[in-house]
Structure 1
Amino acid sequence: MASSTFRPKDQEQDRLADRDVARRLLASSAELSYDPATEVDWDTPLDTDHHGASPEWSTLYGTAYWAELTEDRRRALTRQEAASVACTGIWFEMILQQMVLRDMYAEDPTDPRFQWALTEIADECRHSIMFARGAAKLGAPAYRPRRAVVELGRVFKTVAFGEAAYAAILVAEEVLDVMQRDWMRDERVAPFVRTINNIHVVEESRHMKFARDETRRRLRGAGAVRRQINALVVAIASYCIVTSMVNRDVYRNAGLDAERARAEARANEHHKSLMRSSCSGLMEFLASARLLTRPALFFYRRASLI
């Protein structure tokens, strides 16, 4: 009897707390947001003496092939890899926007959560344009995930809801956040790329806060079967996102032996270790939300996230 008596009060307290989080995020966005059209130096020609990403984040760093490459070829490779990551980011941000918009359809527009959701979508629109212009300036083609992954993404954005949607959003944003924090501080990286990374890191920190809170909120009272299903859905989505970040064509476009480069990248323990260490905080969060089930762990291990 006591439990049923206090449940409405607890729900109201949770609702007020959620609105308070959204209000703080809106205030932060109003205080610290960027316009990539004016903040990024789009006009200065690309200086090919710079990398596109920190060399240590290259999929070939630490391999025998990397040791054979000239500095010019290494820089060309990291520029193509950075462009591929940007294009993958655009692909997932488009999925994200559709999921959030669908989630907020017919919700109360006076609710700060609704208003924050639209603010996040607006951020993601600007980020996608920024990434697109950045990839073009790096001299890269339009990298896209494999057709099977594109079609899986089409299904995911249509059917994913609740914690499955927000936890998958969190995984994509957390992985990008860690690598971009390194790139934006690295003076070897092209200045305009560092600016792009800084903008994304600052604004995505708010998005990650919202995604974590929404994941926890949607899981309140979730049963074991629901957690098992959504844990697996999130893990599969995470695997597709992470394994699509560096397109297989980046090596050929950087002037490398594509077949050898792909083979050495697949076996590169340095890169796998870097991914695992950078995702330790994310895995702790998923574990605390009880989303690290045995089937889910299979996909996280395959993606070198744990």
Structure 2
Amino acid sequence: MTTVPDNAELRDALGQLREREQVAERLLESSAKHSFDPDTELDWEAPFEEGKWHWPPELVSLYGTPLWRRMSEEQRIELSRHEAASLASLGIWFEIILMQLLVRHIYDKPATSAHVRYALTEIADECRHSKMFARMIQKSGTRAYPVTRLHHNLARVLKTISTTPGSFACTLLGEEILDHMQRLTFPDERVQSLVRGVTRIHVVEEARHVRYAREELRRQMVSCPRWEAELTRVSSGHAARVFSIAFINPQVYTDVGLDRREALAQVKASRHRREVMQTGAKRLTDFLDEIGLMQGVGRRLWRSSGLLA
């Protein structure tokens, strides 16, 4: 027997669809006005500036530790160069996952809707971002720093079985913490001009992506079945744990001549580093708490990740 929704349910469903389209139309207008081609927008031929950082020192993982105090200024700057490349590598990994999740999201939706057109616009943005990050790594002269094989293959599972709200929760996890750090980076005159330009482009365009994901996740959490909401709480908590581990590839410490085991131990013990990560995640964790995702097992997983105070 088919259950026929009452008029209130129909009005609510239609209202959500109208709101979804209105948000997408505004984001499409913003995309038309504020999108960039990194290949022409940035000066890739200019040499790096002597003595400038590749990432703000306060955001470098070892900042303030006993090991940091023993390092020379040149070695600290060198570590910032490798950590910037590691974060760019992480960014590419996330962007590729996000593009696949977005394609899954729109597969069954009307191709002519503004919601789908904006998703396709965002996918085009993410393609440019991935190429921009790859070019920055090449320019920096470091290796690329991929995530571990385990995390690489866990992402395959995520892309296959993720619920729709789970996809958007993971999208926000990958975008908002890096976005917070990049907002501190692009106005910082101590940092290389190219890095500042890369982060400026990413911040401007990611603001739209965050708005799209937040609005859709809020809608999904209102309408999804209880089992899906609970699964999303758990999956986002597990994703937070993976993210916190994968954030900086430990190979960077070896590549600048440090003892990897000692460096990892000091990063783990660093109160400053913990505060940096929790501050970067706070806007996101507050939002997830507001929409009911930080409950039960999910909250405990987020706390164990170190991203939730």
Fold equivalence (TM over 0.5): yes
Matches within 5 A, 1:284-303: 284-303=286-305
Distance in 2 (alpha carbons) for counterparts of 1:125 and 1:149: 21
Distance in 2 (alpha carbons) for counterparts of 1:175 and 1:146: 20
Q: Cα offset for 1:132?
A: 0.6
Q: Cα offset for 1:133?
A: 0.7
Distance in 2 (alpha carbons) for counterparts of 1:48 and 1:149: 36
Deviations, residues 247-291 of structure 1 (Å, cap 9, x unaligned): 010011122222221221121111101111222221111011111
Residues 150-159 or 120-129, more deviating: 150-159
Letter in 2 for 1:17: E
| Structure 1: 5+ residue stretches without partners | none
Distance in 1 (alpha carbons) for counterparts of 2:227 and 2:64: 42
1:82 — aligned with what? 84
Asked whether the equivalents of residues 171 and 238 of structure 1 are also in contact (C-alpha less than 8 Å), the reply is: yes
Quick one: percent identity of the two aligned structures?
38
1:155 — aligned with what? 157
What's the TM-score, normalizing by structure 1?
0.96
Matches within 5 A, 1:84-99: 84-99=86-101
- Please point out which of 139, 142, 156 is paired with 2:141: 139
Asked whether the equivalents of residues 48 and 75 of structure 1 are also in contact (C-alpha less than 8 Å), the reply is: no
1:256 — aligned with what? 258
1:70 — aligned with what? 72
Asked whether the equivalents of residues 251 and 260 of structure 2 are also in contact (C-alpha less than 8 Å), the reply is: yes
Residues 20-29 or 295-304, more deviating: 295-304
Distance in 2 (alpha carbons) for counterparts of 1:110 and 1:221: 23
Residues 122-131 or 152-161, more deviating: 152-161
Letter in 2 for 1:99: L
Q: Cα offset for 1:246?
A: 0.5
SS at 1:107 equivalent: coil
What's the TM-score, normalizing by structure 2?
0.95
Distance in 2 (alpha carbons) for counterparts of 1:298 and 1:10: 33
SS at 1:185 equivalent: coil
SS at 1:279 equivalent: helix
Q: Cα offset for 1:48?
A: 4.6
Letter in 2 for 1:260: E
Distance in 2 (alpha carbons) for counterparts of 1:167 and 1:25: 19
Q: Cα offset for 1:45?
A: 2.1
Distance in 2 (alpha carbons) for counterparts of 1:14 and 1:221: 10
